[in-house]
Amino acid sequence: MTPESDATQFFGRADLVESARSSDAPLTLLVGDSGIGKTALLRHVQRDFQGALAPAPVEVFSRDGAFVDAILDVMVDAVGQIIADDVWSTRRHQAEEFLAKLARRSGGLVIQLIQEALLQRLRLWFGERSIQLASEFKDVFGSTESNGLSTSVEAARSDNVLPELVTFASEILEVSGRDEFSIGLDRIEILPETDIRRLADLARMLPARVGLKATLQDTSEEGARTLQLLDSVGGYDVRTIRVDGLSESAVREALVAAGLDEARTPEVHHQTGGYPLHLGDLIRHLETGGQLGSEPINAKFGKLIQSRWDGLTPTCRTAARQLCMIGRPLPVQLVLETLEVGESDWFNTVDTLKSERIFTQTVDGQPWFHEQRRRWLVDSLSPTERQSGAARIIPAVSELAQSQVGWRYGPTLAELIEEAGTEIVDPDFKRLSVLSDSELAIAAALLELDSTRSNPTDAAAALAHARRFFGADGDLVAALERLTLAGLTAVEQVLPGRVPLVEMSFGRAIAVAVGGMCHRRLGRMPIPAIGLAAWTDVLGTPNSPKKFAVCGIGEPIPGDVIWETHIAEGRATRTLRPLHGCYAAGDLGGTPIFAVATTDPGQERQLAAAWADAKGELGGRTLEVHQVLEFPATRFRAGRWSVAANDLVGRPPSAKEDSGLALQDDVRVLSDIREAARLAMDPVDQLLTGMIKPMHFYYQEDFGRSTVLRVLGQSAGVTSCSTLDIGRFGSPLASLHYAEHLQLPYGCEVVGMTTGARLDRAHPMRRFAKQTDERLVSFNRHHPRIEVDIREGYLEQWLGPYLEDRYQDARGLYDAVSMAGFFEPTPYEVFLVAAPSSPESPVSSVFAWSALRPSDEMKINYRLFEAPGKVSGLNVLPEVFPQYTSPSFSSGSLAATLADVAGYGKDDVSIFQSIRDLELLPN
């Protein structure tokens, strides 16, 4: 569906249509280049002319007298429109009366028209009934006296026919009952000079309500002469309306209407110059699965270019042959150096190419080829000439690719590399020329996943990105290995068993070439550092008071990224101030994305509000912000998960320090613990501990060797394997090979591996707690020291929540172990389940949570038993601890009770130190 061919959709021309339709000039000219859409525009003007008689425009011919024939054809169509307006019962009588009247007034001229054209055209409207109508019309004309029956076509072409045409047009308008009569003529530039003069004369002679509208191609030599002649003889009776290429927004509308990706708009606009003729051809090409740049040249357009090319001087041809190898102009200085010409000679060449319509548009502020003309010239070169010409100009384009506007030249540089082939001199470009589509897709993914952090990219994420967004398939791990072997990438394994990191080993010019090659071969141009581009576009709003930002792709440990931002800002500003700002996590078309920004103290909430629920689009992918965390934030108690594990582990018969579990039980318990704790966490806990996504464990035992793979993003659970190739474990790309072997779906990656003898025999709860605590410690180090007043109210504020957190963490771990069916609960664990999840007061909180302290168990249980009414849900205590009675209990001040029940002294200094020991304050 195109604006050229589909009469129901006409994009970007509404203003031009209205301007032409409302023109009151006797002769209105629609002027422009071949293929610019003048004919389609005139058709729309005539078709939608409300209240006017406006037949479809007629194309003229170049023979002498063709102008009069065209005018008569339009008038015949107008007669047919009038006759076809009413129902059949009234058409016949109306036609008889109308044609009889015209015959009496115009005589032989009308008879000539009826004999040659009218009845044939009426047949289109009346079908078989036109036979009867023709017979009646013949009778009408047969009985009509006319002295002009012998009027010939040659006589009608004489200058004396103009008054008859004026009379004929006036009669048609009168009989029609319409307000205006618009006569449309197409391609008048081919009329001979005598007909052009007749056209100007007729325009002046026609009544005010009859107007002429015509198209004229002024970019040819004959068209320019025609326009100059009409300006000379027509004067103020002629109005010229310039028709240019469609705008980018109109091209976007056309693509959307055809069901094509609107992200292609800029390139489609560049390829077609906004010419509807070429836009229609290109859209049809894309609709059938074709790629940009491979569409065939319009045959009619090719003949036009050939005629202009034949008229060029040898100097101009040489320059055009060289420059047509590049898709957009180079700066003048680079052109002079590449062509080895002087400045004056170059500008003379430009003037000639413009006058001959080889240069027909402006690109980057310079006269340049229309893309179809450029491609025609390229196709006209011999293979040897194309190859040598491309190799000769690569250095100039490569130099330009390293500038600020370098990315514009990606497709051009890629085309040159492809054309030059074995003639390429630069070794880096030679390596690019032989890349497979999969290798190219990985390089493109690395370009997009680059970030402001200047850190290598997660290799698994890069391969997943290449597969999803650039259509890579097959063995991508092998493709990455080939890229590394070619020196285009470097793989680094930070820690054994962890996901390897990969980074680009090429410079800006190669990156630009990669982008252009992706555009040509994969149908999509990568967006360099897409994370930065997305955050800048969506979050760089005026109401977000950010001062310094770091962003990227992936799911890093928030604490580490915040720390990096703090240090980077300090280096940039040469000051290290307390950190204030926000951390945001989001999603870009299925790819995780993050950002950290700093702001002034007191502006954190405004920044968070500006970022919260932000949405945007980049390259056809939607960006959504899922979570925003302000900092400084409430500090998380360091070691909280380890303390919770200590509360449950190490009490016979529940568990021992050496868990004594078989591998399958150990992995299953670890999986259950992680998932139970993850589901119990709030979103902030999940974000900071890296447990937003579930995790699946794969394990394999072979001859005393235990291998465990941790897969992030796959549903929680455990799977036994027997086919993992342990020999790959030492390879930096081992995790990627295993991911390919397991055929993991998109969004799942192997994030950790262990193999060998089971050296770490600690209980799964302890291992899980250690990893979780490490991430919380990483986050806590970015927050300023929080001073705590040791008065009673502040002890209630700090100590109560601390003990409550201990209870909740231990409860989560207990549920996980219980769910795994690992052991029967001890009295302490029974108490844990029985304790209230929503304490009635801070005092009861202390009594309940303090039961989890491993020291002085008898004292704590005794005191809890002393006050059974203060804590709900403790009805199981008499069964658990039947040896205790209920002596009277009286509490002192809240501060004393809090400190005493927690096992501390009552003086202020010791209480303050106790809060430090609880890790509520930094060391």
Note the pLDDT tens digit of each residue in 804-837: 676 677 777 777 767 666 665 555 555 555 554 4
Lowest mean pLDDT among 117-121, 209-213, 339-343, 348-352: 117-121
> What is the C-alpha separation between 223 and 308, in angstroms, rounded?
14
Say which residues have a Cβ less than 8 Å from residue 178's Cβ, sequence separation at least 6: 51, 52, 53
pLDDT higher than threshold 80 for residue 366: yes
Residue 187 inside a domain? The answer is yes
**pLDDT > 90 in the chain, percent:** 16
Task: Report how many helices (DSSP H) and strands (DSSP E) the chain contains, helices first.
Answer: 41, 20
Domain boundary among 197, 214, 242: 242
Q: How far is CA 823 from CA 666, 765, 828, 851, in A?
A: 13, 13, 13, 21
Q: Are residues 25 and 101 in the same domain?
A: yes
pLDDT at residue 589 in the model: 82
Q: Comparing C-alpha atoms, which of 58, 32, 56, 62 is closest to residue 44?
A: 56
Which is more confidently placed, 25 or 777?
A: 25
- Which H helix or E strand runs over 215? strand 210-217
CB 255 within 8 A of CB 249: no
Does residue 356 fall inside a structural domain? no
Alpha helix positions (H), 592-748: 604-611, 640-648, 663-680, 683-689, 734-742
Q: For the chain, how many structural domains are there in total?
A: 5
Structure-token match 């059949």, residue found: 88
Tokens 């591998």 identify what position?
A: 663
Angle made by CA atoms 545, 546, 548, in degrees to the nearest 5: 160
Contact criterion met (CB below 8 Å) for 491 and 732: yes
Angle at 297 between CA 293 and CA 303, to 5 degrees: 150
**pLDDT given at position 298:** 67
The 457-458 sheet, strands edge to edge: 457-458, 501-504, 489-492
Least confident of 214-218, 396-400, 545-549, 785-789: 785-789
| Alpha carbon distances (Å) from 341 to 319, 348, 857, 899 | 9, 11, 96, 91
Q: Smallest Cα–Cα separation from 894: which of 802, 806, 798, 804?
A: 798
Is the per-residue pLDDT at 593 higher than 70? yes
Contact call for residues 653 and 642 (beta carbons, < 8 A): no
Residue at 135 is within a domain: yes
Most confident segment among 204-208, 356-360, 578-582, 874-878: 204-208
pLDDT of residue 716: 92
Does residue 105 fall inside a structural domain? yes
Does 908 lie in the same domain as 860?
yes
- How confident is the model over 80-92, as pLDDT tens digits? 777 666 543 455 5
Give the pair of three-digit tokens for residue 777: 């410690």
**pLDDT recorded at residue 865:** 39
Residues 6 or more apart in contact with residue 766 via CB below 8 angstroms: 642, 645, 649
What confidence score (pLDDT) does residue 85 get?
60
Q: Residue 594 is encoded by which pair of tokens?
A: 């993050």
With residue 210 as reference, give the H or E element that holds it.
strand 210-217
Residues 227 and 288 in one domain: no
449 vs 529: CA distance, rounded Å: 6
pLDDT over 70 at 893, yes or no:
no
Torsion, Cα of 80, 82, 88, 94 (10° steps):
-110
- pLDDT tens digits, 652-710: 334 445 556 788 888 888 898 889 888 888 888 888 888 889 999 999 988 778 889 99
DSSP for 191-208? S-HHHHHHHHHHHHHS-T
State residue 311 phi and psi, 5-degree precision: -90, 0
Among residues 242, 272, 306, the one where a domain terminates is 242
Give CB contacts under 8 A, 24+ apart, made by 873-876: 873/834, 873/835, 873/836, 874/831, 874/834, 874/835, 874/848, 875/834, 876/830, 876/831, 876/834
pLDDT of residue 860: 39
- The structure tokens listed for 483 are 């890229």
pTM for the model: 0.64
Whole-number Å distance between alpha carbons of 584 and 555: 11
Q: Among candidates 147, 159, 139, which has minimal Cα distance to 96?
A: 139
In a domain, 224, yes or no: yes
Confidence band, pLDDT 50/70/90 cuts, at residue 115: very low
Contact between residue 417 and residue 424 where contact means Cβ atoms under 8 Å apart: yes
What confidence score (pLDDT) does residue 281 get?
Answer: 81
Shared domain for 21 and 129, answered yes or no, is yes
In the block, which residue shows the tokens 């001959």?
356
Written as one letter, the residue type at 597 is: A
- Distance between CA atoms of residues 651 and 825, nearest Å: 10
The tokens for 887 are: 């002596």
Neighbouring-strand partners of residue 797: none
Report the greatest alpha carbon distance in the chain. Answer: 140
Please say whether the beta carbons of 800 and 648 come within 8 A: no
Same domain, 828 and 907: yes
In a domain, 26, yes or no: yes
Would the pLDDT of 903 be above 50?
no
State the Cα–Cα distance between residues 528 and 508, nearest whole angstrom.
Answer: 11
d(CA 797, CA 799): 6
Q: Do 726 and 851 have their domain in common?
A: no
- Identify residue 903 by its one-letter amino acid code: G
Is the domain of 140 the same as that of 186? Answer: yes
Residue 541's nearest CA partner among 613, 630, 619 is: 613
Q: What is the Cα–Cα distance from 721 to 419, expressed in whole angstroms? A: 49
Q: Is residue 394 part of a domain?
A: no
pLDDT digits (tens, 9 = 90+) for 425-477: 888 898 888 999 999 999 999 998 886 656 788 888 889 889 888 988 889 99
| CA triple 4-8-11, angle to 5 deg | 55
Closest CA to 552 of 560, 607, 544: 560
Report the half-sphere exposure of 301 (CA within 13 A, side-chain side): 23
Cβ pair 428, 506 in contact under 8 A: yes
CATH of the domain at 170: 3.40.50
Per-residue pLDDT, 890: 31
In whole angstroms, give the CA distance from residue 677 to residue 642: 13
What phi, psi does 502 have (nearest 5°)?
-135, 145
355: tokens are 């006058």
* Cα 345 from Cα 342, distance rounded (Å): 5
Cα–Cα distance measured from residue 104 to residue 37, given in angstroms and rounded to the nearest whole number = 41
- Rg of the Cα atoms in the chain: 42
Final residue belonging to a domain, choices 590, 612, 631: 631
Strand partners, 582: 597, 630
> Are residues 134 and 213 part of one domain?
yes
Give the pLDDT confidence score for residue 262 in this predicted structure: 87
User: Helix, strand, or coil here: 30?
Assistant: strand
Q: Residue 763 above 80 pLDDT?
A: no
- Asked if residue 205 and residue 120 are part of one domain, the reply reads yes
Q: Write the burial class of residue 498 (CB in 10 Å: 0-12 exposed, 13-18 middle, 19+ buried).
A: middle
Q: Is residue 214 predicted with pLDDT exceeding 90?
A: yes
Backbone torsions φ then ψ of 803, nearest 5 degrees = -70, -35
The range of the structural domain enclosing residue 563 comes to: 546-631
* Same domain, yes or no: 46 and 185: yes
Computed over every residue of the chain, the mean pLDDT equals 76
Categorize the per-residue pLDDT at 902 as very low, low, confident or very high, splitting at 50, 70 and 90: very low
**pLDDT average, residue stretch 518-540:** 80
- Lookup result for tokens 């007191």: 602
- CB count within 10 Å of CB 710 equals 22
Residues 815, 728 share a domain = no
User: Both 259 and 233 in a single domain?
Assistant: no
The answer to whether residue 803 is domain-embedded is yes
Q: What pLDDT is attached to residue 653? A: 38
What band does 151 get if pLDDT is binned at 50, 70 and 90? very low
User: What's the per-residue H, E or C state across 401-421?
Assistant: HCCCCHHHHHHHHHHHHHHHH
